[in-house]
Amino acid sequence: MLASQLLFVFKENRLDGSVLIVDDSSPDGTGELAEEISRKHPNFKVFHRPRKAGIGSAYREGFKMALEGGCGIVFEMDSDLSHDPSFIPNFLRAIDEGWDVIIGSRYVPGGRVIGWGWHRRFVSKVANFLSRHLAGLKVHDATSGYRAIRAGSLYKVDLEGTLSDGYAFQTELLFDLNQITNKIREIPTTFVNRRRGKSKLSAMDLVHFAWTIVRLSIRRILSRSVFQ
């Protein structure tokens, strides 16, 4: 379970970490389990929403609550064990070196993906190709959902102004952060495909991602025009 792994990492590295779980009234009992964990561990908080409203919306809510709570570094990660908590100290070391945004990358030397088929790998590669060449994000893994962000940089992002509610939110947020800081670094991580359930990536998510790339490309062109 992710909660026990996080607690172990916090204890082993003497970290004063808090965990916010955003639950969209999951029908599988996730909310009830999260509440049980929060009763045992005060540094675990649960935010329940009445219905599913998209992962982007969940991140916006979670980020705002983290910033309001005074967090100095905000992490984002999946709760299905796709993101290994043992990498957290690596993120923090990079923050200590002066970087503002740390991306847990699958596509830099040392990074890898376990359990994906060719189709999922192809979609991810194409998405990152478009993010680099059209949106201008000079990273290898713009779609990674495993990140650490210095609160000072996240404060400057207009979270309410982000339009993506699906998986494209990752790319849009990184685009906005890149307008604020160039201190963005990728570190290698291992992504393990979920062992239970199925991927929630749908055809509509792909359409929304393509539209997001178009919007970001236009913003990129317009910003160039303004400063020329």
Are 45 and 81 members of one domain? no
Q: Which of 92, 98, 175, 186 is nearest to 136 (CA)?
A: 175
Are 7 and 86 members of one domain? no
Give the predicted TM-score (pTM) of the model. 0.91
The answer to whether the beta carbons of residues 80 and 197 sit under 8 Å apart is yes
Q: Which of 48-62, 88-102, 122-136 has the lowest mean pLDDT?
A: 48-62
| pLDDT tens digits for range 100-113 | 999 999 999 999 99
Q: Which of 14-28, 153-167, 196-210 has the lowest mean pLDDT?
A: 196-210
The answer to whether the beta carbons of residues 181 and 146 sit under 8 Å apart is no
Report yes or no on 45 lying in a domain: yes
Are 115 and 157 members of one domain? yes
Are 90 and 148 members of one domain? yes
pLDDT in the model for residue 196: 57
The DSSP annotation for 13-26 comes to TT----EEEEE---
Q: Give 150's strand partners.
A: 73
Q: Which of 212, 170, 137 is nearest to 56 (CA)?
A: 170
C-alpha 20/C-alpha 12 separation (Å) is 20
The answer to whether the beta carbons of residues 151 and 177 sit under 8 Å apart is no
| pLDDT tens digits for range 163-216 | 888 889 999 999 999 999 999 999 999 999 976 555 567 888 899 999 999 999
Domain total in the chain: 2
**Residue-number span of the structural domain to which 212 is assigned:** 72-227
Task: Identify the residue whose tokens are 């495909």.
Answer: 193
What value does the mean pLDDT take over residues 144-149? 97
Residue predicted with more confidence, 3 or 49: 3
Report yes or no on 35 lying in a domain: yes
Report yes or no on 25 lying in a domain: yes
* Strand pairing category for 112-114 and 184-188: unpaired
